[in-house]
Amino acid sequence: MVGTEDAQVSPRRRARRTKGPAISSDRVGVSFATRSKRSLAFLLILVGCTLHRAPERNPDMLTFHQKPGEITSICDAEQLALLRTLDKVGKQEAKTLSFESTVGAMERALTILNENTNPVNFLKYVSPDEKVRAAANICETAVQKTYVDVFVREDLYRQVKSVKDSKAKLSSDDAFMLDEYLSNFERNGLGLTLDQRKVFIEKKKRLVMIEAEFSKNLVEWDDSLPITEAELDGLPENYKKGLKKNKEGKYLITLDYPHYYPFMENAKSSRARQLLEEKFWKRGGEKNKALLDEALSLRKEMAKMLGFPNHAAYILDKRMAKNTDQVFGFLVGLKKKLIPLGKSNLAELQKYKKADTGSSEPIQSFEWRYYDTALKKQKYDVDVEKIRPYFPVDVVVAGMFEIYQTLLSVKFEKVEKGMTWHPSVEFYRVMREGKVVAQFFMDLYPRDGKYGHAAAFTLISGYTKPDGSYQRPASAIVANFTPPGEGTPSLLEHSEVETLFHEFGHIMHQVLTDARYASYSGTSVKNDFVEAPSQMLENWVWNKNALSKMSSHYQTKKPLPEDLLSKLIAAKLVNSGIRYLRQLSYALIDMTYHTSEKVDATEVYMRLTQEIMMIGGPEGTYPQASYGHIMGGYDAGYYGYLWSKVYAQDMFTRFEREGVLNTKTGQEYLKWILQPGGLKDPFDLIKGFLGRPSNDKAFLKSIGL
């Protein structure tokens, strides 16, 4: 899950997936709330008199109107059903063991659990009802704890190991699954003594709770900056219309992206920008600061219990990069190449600052976006607010659909009266050769209590059913674009068009999969590869032919003028050194956190930000308290955004050569990159698509080197 060039510490773009074994092997828990103290054992005692499994749910007919009590019943019943199945697996006699009766049975049981709980757990992120969100929070945490319990069961481990030891002849997919399940057990402490295992399990469950609370604190963080109308100087009228006022009549600038970014980019009041920046860097508060410290300590302790020198080594053992030397080598090498470019970028911004204020003081964190915007306006004549009217959401979505449909030979059919969780949500079916093959939802506008960034959520994974048919996948794109106003449609910045195109790429990766097993279908791939398919597709929003399909002035209906389009493309690499050094700083902060014996998280964050990006953070803040990535599945993994970009840009070279709307090339991309899921090695998939091993030439060119 998910930012690229302009990612924030809290994820702007993320591919969220089902929490199957492929994910639980590395960690358990991606954003959870507090769980009831009732244990599963206690639930098992009660099952005879109080609980009944919910009626079988049809994954092709999703509903989202469950009440809190229904969510609790579904959650508890599905976990109990899973445990009954796993108990049968664990009690099998040795002579009856086979891949199908062990790994196959476990995979089916876990798939059913996810199939029946993912849609209700998703309500944690999108439901308008606070009580529903709370119930979904509790269920999601419970399911993650169940995964901890499953992969520390000695009876199941013994059965799977027996199948491995039997050296039965298996298909390549089954052999892969057998090895992965065995690895999942061993990475969850099954090689430890019983006493050590008990300690390990307690630490892991505590980590689940910590990550849950961290995420909950961020989602519920509520702060804003009250400002006068004079302090809104530089912002367009539409921005002002979307603001609420406090009792004193002052405008409230929240820390949500649709408020924060335009303000930091355009507000002339340096003091107001500074105050907003300080608030932004304190999100999560002292509470999250302490939770992160505890999480870092627990991760280090658990990694060492499993024989790894640190948490990063544990994580990277299952990634494309393989080890910390590879990652540090990649990041430090890129840093050396980018530093001169970053210094040049800063020197140019400094000139704009001096002309504006007369000051020769170094650029501060609350200034660089403002002067970056000023540079684009003055040097390249690129004004975001002049471009925005050409990108009404409906036009962008229609053009985006046309491009994806052309490339991937599918059709998107809107369902006018589909069941959704909010009236603004749209529901679509994916058609191929007249048949429904998948479905997806689009939830594009902010509201109270909703997930605050941009992400693609898997609701139902694709997989081959026992009868040989294929389960239709279902996903949801969740974003927070500026909503329609009075007489004005939702109008996107070009960067938001890029975000939408990126996230929809994740949706296509999720719903067009043909992987045999749910745990490794769609975006359930190695974390340092998961962004590459969507990053590759971002290139379309910088192509004139593609942009002409996605732009039309909401009043005049004219497409984006050729001269404005040329200026926009010309300004693409403005301050690319600063932006990519910023990404590098996040990645190296993450790696330092997860390779150090002892770490002062605030000191490391501030020092590396200054050293790498050459722009320091506000004093007295603790930005790690909102570093959602490393508490939400990207621990020792933030490097993946840059790592995967290397492969993304190299893959795009084929479309550059053969045509960005070439259906034949699109079909090859579907075959090699989008369909296989995590059952195949990414290196093999990339080589298959390119017809050669990958290199970094296109990547370096794409970032201005």
Rounded Cα distance between 687 and 675, Å, is 15
Long-range Cβ contacts of 489-492 (<8 Å, 24+ apart): 489/392, 489/393, 489/394, 489/554, 490/392, 490/393, 490/444, 490/445, 491/238, 491/388, 491/389, 491/391, 491/392, 491/393, 491/554, 492/388, 492/391, 492/392, 492/393, 492/396
Q: In what order do the strands lie in the sheet with 13-16?
A: 13-16, 454-460, 474-478, 435-443, 426-432, 411-414
Q: Which residues are CB-neighbours of 558 under 8 A, at least 6 positions away?
A: 552
Give CA angle at 207 (202, 210), nearest 5°.
130
| Torsion sign over Cα 91, 97, 100, 102 | positive
SS3 528: coil
Determine whether 413 is an active site residue.
Answer: no
Under DSSP, the state recorded for 520 is G
Rounded Cα distance between 10 and 338, Å, is 24
DSSP 169-232: ---HHHHHHHHHHHHHHHHTTTTS-HHHHHHHHHHHHHHHHHHHHHHHHHHH---EEEE-SGGG
- How many CB atoms sit inside 10 A of residue 332's CB? 11
Please give the distance of CA 665 from its chain centroid, rounded to a whole number: 27
Rounded Cα distance between 108 and 114, Å, is 10
Rounded Cα distance between 384 and 494, Å, is 7
Rounded Cα distance between 68 and 596, Å, is 42
Rounded Cα distance between 148 and 321, Å, is 26
Nearest to 629 by CA among 531, 534, 522: 531
Q: Which tokens sit at 178?
A: 């057998």
Nearest to 636 by CA among 319, 202, 288: 319
Rounded Cα distance between 145 and 676, Å, is 29
Rounded Cα distance between 668 and 55, Å, is 41
- Per annotation, catalytic residue among 213, 385, 503, 668: 503
- How many CB atoms sit inside 10 A of residue 576's CB? 18
Residue 224 near residue 252 (C-beta atoms within 8 A):
yes
Q: Active-site positions?
A: 503
